[in-house]
Amino acid sequence: MEKKCYFINGGEHKVAKNIAIKVARAEKDMTQKVLAEAVGVSRQTINAIEKGEYNPTIKLCCKICRVLDKRLDDL
């Protein structure tokens, strides 16, 4: 079953991509693989998070924030 989210205009769309993590990762000149190794997950997991196909645990979110020097609110 495809995940969906609803926007104010009433339109139905796929879950939004997590552009903030991708941007933060790019700012640190990190590949998905390097970020994945730093937080202890696979590159495919980071890819799925960035594509909005996987909702990480709060523990994983905190690890990603530490590595990217960001706050949860930033990502």
Calculate helix-pair angle for 58-68, 32-39, nearest 10 degrees.
120
Give the domain ranges of the chain: 4-74
Q: What's this model's pTM, rounded to 2 decimal places?
A: 0.76
pLDDT per residue as tens, the chain (75 positions): 444 433 334 444 445 678 999 999 999 999 999 999 999 999 999 999 999 999 999 999 999 999 999 999 888
User: How far, in whole angstroms, is CA 38 from its chain's centroid?
Assistant: 14
**Spatial distance between the Cα atoms of 38 and 50, rounded to a whole number of angstroms:** 16
Region for 3 from its dihedrals, namely left if φ exceeds 0, alpha if ψ lies in -120 to 50, beta otherwise: beta
Structural tokens at position 53: 């196909």
* CATH architecture group of domain 4-74: Orthogonal Bundle (1.10)
